[in-house]
Chain A
């Protein structure tokens, strides 16, 4: 009973028409889709079902391994990388090269400290360019604040560049436009005040 998922990805299909494709017994090489009759090149792989990660029942006797902190009946195989408790093969959650117990995994995932579990990022690169352009268009009133906002986004984008792949050129360009925004905005405000004085 597979769990329902939010996205409607239903498994391999024809890359042309998207209709589901049974891949049992299919061999590598050119294939023709039964629905749309178009041909494509295919390779079939057989991922092993990660079957019952072998649970080890606590061995009798004092020379056996210690018991898991969460499951008294299971033998501990390793210790959590964060809190150090002994965990069995069922509890251990291997991510990014470290093993964590379920509680630490939950806590770290919430904090965003597990790199492979962090899957949402703000795209500072496009934010910076968008704000910079809007600042240019409306530089009369919004030039100054939007220019400063552009610098903030460029800064954040620069820091997150490795994670999110924001292009350096894009960020630099946004920064330049940001400078123009600030200059124009400041000029307008300045001239506005000067005009009032006369």
Chain B
């Protein structure tokens, strides 16, 4: 069975739906694409760069403003035409969009992006900002620890080979092989 993994965040976009998990060795990104899940990983010992930034998420703001604006506009037109009860319905329908708009403007979104050598993972947080900051530091330290471990293993393996003697009949390559 697969290693136990913890769901740590998600990344939803115009064309993508991604759920981000954390395992012992890697950050896993499950991209849900039309009833199929495609999985990519960024291994901790492959991480090059981790960033944390705060953004508005313009696309979301524009969409919420547009939808809320249209509904409010219809409500306003109805009020002008003395149909306040129907206008109230439209205003109520507009409210979630308006609320979402203002929540996003006030809180903004914290985004952690993990850049590996061959893949990357990103996750967005609107409310759990302290969690995002903690996760950011945690991923960094896990990455550093895994990379230090690999470096130590490499050094140990190199030391082991260097200690062995090569048989005399195997010609050594010249001191400076040109590529």
Contact B143 A45 (CB under 8 A): yes
A15 near B113: Cβ-Cβ < 8 Å: yes
Residues of B within 8 A of A (CB): 1-3, 5, 7, 19, 21, 30, 32, 35-41, 45-53, 55, 111, 113, 115, 117-120, 122, 136, 140, 143-144, 147, 150-151, 154, 157-158, 160-161, 164, 166-167, 170
A120 within 8 A of B: yes
Query: Taking the complex as formed, is A59 at the interface, i.e. its CB lies under 8 A from any CB of chain B?
Result: yes
A63 located at the interface, meaning its Cβ lies under 8 Å from any Cβ of chain B in the complex: no
Q: In the bound complex, do residue B147 and residue A40 qualify as a contact, i.e. CB atoms below 8 Å apart?
A: no
Known: A9-B120, A40-B52, A120-B39. A46 touches B147 (CB 8 A): yes
Q: Closest CB-CB distance, A46 to chain B, in whole Å?
A: 7
Are B53 and A16 in touch, CB under 8 angstroms? yes
**Shortest beta-carbon distance from B81 to chain A in Å:** 34
Determine if B50 and A45 form an interchain contact, defined as CB atoms under 8 angstroms apart: yes
Interface size class on chain A is 35 or more
Which residues of B sit under 8 angstroms from A47, Cβ to Cβ? 45-48, 117, 147, 150
Residues of A within 8 A of B160 (CB): 54
Q: Are A123 and B36 also in contact (CB < 8 A) when A23-B48, A47-B46, A165-B21 are?
A: yes
Contact of A38 among B53, B119, B164, B170 (CB under 8 A): B53
Give CA–CA (A46, B40) in the complex, Å.
21
Known: A44-B49, A115-B1. 20 other contacts (CB 8 A): A11-B115, A12-B115, A38-B53, A43-B49, A43-B50, A45-B143, A45-B144, A47-B47, A54-B157, A54-B161, A56-B161, A56-B164, A57-B166, A57-B170, A59-B167, A121-B37, A127-B35, A165-B5, A165-B19, A165-B30
Tell me the complex Cα distance, A63–B138, Å. Answer: 47
Taking beta carbons and an 8 Å cutoff, which residues of A are in contact with B?
5, 7, 9, 11-13, 15-16, 21, 23, 31, 38-48, 50-51, 53-57, 59-60, 115-116, 118-123, 126-127, 130, 162-165
**A43 near B140 (CB under 8 angstroms)?**
yes
Nearest 7 interchain pairs by C-beta: A40-B53, A12-B49, A12-B115, A43-B140, A121-B37, A119-B39, A48-B151
A31 and B115 CA atoms in complex are apart in Å by 15
A5 to B49, CA, bound (A): 20
When A45-B143, A165-B19 are in contact, do A11 and B36 touch as well, CB less than 8 Å?
A: no
Given contact pairs A9-B119, A50-B150, A60-B167, A41 touches B136 in the complex (Cβ within 8 A): yes
Which of chain A's residues has its CB closest to B30's CB?
A165
Residues of B within 8 A of A41 (CB): 51-53, 136
With contact pairs A15-B111, A121-B39 given, residues A165 and B7 touching in the complex (Cβ less than 8 Å): yes
The reply to whether B115 and A126 contact each other, CB–CB distance below 8 Å, is no
Given contacts A47-B46, A48-B151, contact A115 B140 (CB under 8 A): no
- Of all chain B residues, the one with the shortest Cβ separation from A42 is B51
